[in-house]
Amino acid sequence: MTSAPATFPRKATRQIHVGKVAVGGDAPISVQSMTITKTADVEGTLQQIYALAAAGCDIVRCTCNEIEAAEGLAQIVPRSPVPIIADIHHQYKMALAALEAGVHGLRLNPGNIRKPEHIKAVASEARDRKVPIRIGVNGGSLDPSLYEKYGGLTADAMVESAQMEMRYFDEVGFDLIKISVKASNVPLMVEAYRKLSAVTDHPLHLGVTEAGPLPGGLVKATAGIAALLLEGIGDTIRYSLTADPVEEARAGRQLLESLGLRERKNVDLIACPSCGRAEIDVIEVANRAQAAFADKKLPLQIAVMGCVVNGPGEAREADLGIAAGNKRGHLFVKGRNVAVVPESEMVEALVDWASFIHEHGVEAALQRVDTTIAEREAARDRNALLDEKGTDANQSAEKIVEIRRTVEG
C-alpha cells in the first residue's frame, strides 16, 4: 500500500544535489539526522550512519570540530551508504578540511563564523568542488548585531542573517545553497520559514532546534515541521530530539509517509483508542504488533481493533486488521472477515497474513480461505458482545436522561 498523493502544492525551489540525493525542485522531501559519536571514531560513526540509513535517513550530518574529525571523515565518506554533511562551527578551516576529506555538503552557522573573508574562502572552495552549503541560522546563536537591530530574536532577524550570508556567497559566485532558520520556539520557527520562503527560491531545510526529549520534543518538532509542509514549504527535514538519532530518522520518515509526501516503506499501524466494549488490552496488543513489524519492510496499513462491533468497519481501508471478540481474533482484509484465530495468536496471525499480502496481493489473500465462514463467526461474536454489553457500552443514553432531569427539574 502506498500513501495517497499530497493534495497541497509545494513551493517551487531550485534543485541542488547532496551527493546522490536531489534536494528541492521536484525531488522527494528528504530526511536528515546527525550522528552523536565522535567523528574520529570511524567505526562507531559508520555503525550509527548505517543504523540511520536503515531507519529511513537520506542524508547524515557529522560534526567536524577538530583535525581528528576531519581525518575521520576522509575514511567515513567513501564507506557511507548515504551522503555525508560536515557540521562546522567557529573554525572555518575545519570547513576547508572537511571539503578536502570529500564530504558531500557543509553546514555553516552564520552566527559563529562572522569574518567575511573566512565565509568567502569556504564558499569559493565549495564552488570549485561543486559542494552545496546549508546556511544554518539558529535562534540560539544569532549575530549580536542582529539582536541589537531587531531588539531580540525575531523572524526578521533570522531571515536577514541568512540573507547576509547569501550576499557573501554571491560575491564569489556560489549558489549551491539550502537554508534553515531554526528556533526552539515553534511559532517563531514557523513565522521565520514563511518569511524566508517568500523572499528566496533556494531549497529550505526544516527543523525545530533543541526540541528536547520524547514525547514533548516529538510533538514540538512535528507541530513546526508539519505546519510548514502542509503549506508546501520545505525540501528536507530533521527532527532535533534529545534521543537516539535513529528515533529522529524514524519520526521524519513516518511524518512524510503520513502526509503522503514519501512512499511508504514499512507498516502503518493503526489502532482504536479502546472503549468499554474492548475485549482485549488494545495497548498491549498494539505494542506487540509494533515490535513484531519493526524490522519488516512491509508497506501495508494494519489495524488492531478492540472489538468486532465496529472494528472491521472503522478500519475498512486498512490492508489487513484484526479485531477481538469472545476470546478470539477476527482477521479481516480490506474490511472482509477472512479468518478466526485464538486470542493468543493474534499478532502472529497478523505477521503471517501481512507477509502473504505483501508477496501475493490482497485478492490472493481473499481467495486463500472461505470468507463466508469467517464472516459468520464474526457476526456471531458481534451479536454476543452486543447482547452482553449493549450498543451503548458506556450507558450514555441513561446519563443523558439524568442530565435532562437535573437541568429541567
The predicted model scores a pTM of 0.84
Please give the pLDDT value at position 4. Answer: 47
Residue 358 pLDDT exceeds 80? yes
Distance CA 303, CA 315 (A): 6
Which of the pair, 276 or 235, is modelled with greater confidence?
A: 235
How far is C-alpha 229 from the geometric centre of its chain's CA atoms? 12
- pLDDT at residue 305 in the model: 85
What pLDDT, in 10s, does the model give residues 77-90? 999 999 999 999 99
The domain 268-389 is classified under which CATH number: 3.40.470.10, 3.30.413.10, 1.10.3710.10, 1.10.10.10?
A: 3.30.413.10
- pLDDT for res 285: 87
Instruction: State the CATH architecture for 16-258.
Output: Alpha-Beta Barrel (3.20)
- Average confidence (pLDDT) over 160-165: 95
The model's confidence at residue 281, banded by pLDDT at 50, 70 and 90, is: confident
Q: Give me the pLDDT at residue 102, please.
A: 98
Do 12 and 232 touch, CB atoms closer than 8 A?
no
Nearest to 135 by CA among 104, 178, 96: 178
Does position 1 have pLDDT exceeding 50, yes or no? no
Average pLDDT for 288-299: 89
Q: Residues near 336 by Cβ (< 8 Å), separated by ≥ 6?
A: 312, 366, 371, 375
**pLDDT confidence of 392, banded at 50, 70, 90?**
low
Whether 16-258 shares its CATH topology with 268-389 is answered: no
DSSP state of 95: H
Q: Is 354 within 8 Å of 267 (Cβ atoms)? A: yes
The domain locations on the chain are: 16-258, 268-389
pLDDT per position as a tens digit, 120-150: 999 999 999 999 999 999 988 888 899 999 9
Lowest mean per-residue pLDDT among 112-116, 260-264, 293-297, 324-328? 324-328
Average pLDDT of the segment spanning 11-24: 97
Beta-ladder partners of 325: 328
The predicted structure's pLDDT at residue 230: 96
CA separation for the pair 98, 91 (Å, rounded): 11
Tell me the three cell numbers of residue 375.
Answer: 464472516
Indicate whether 35 pLDDT > 50.
Answer: yes
Between the alpha carbon of residue 201 and those of residues 37, 111, 195, 271, the distances in Å are 34, 22, 12, 40
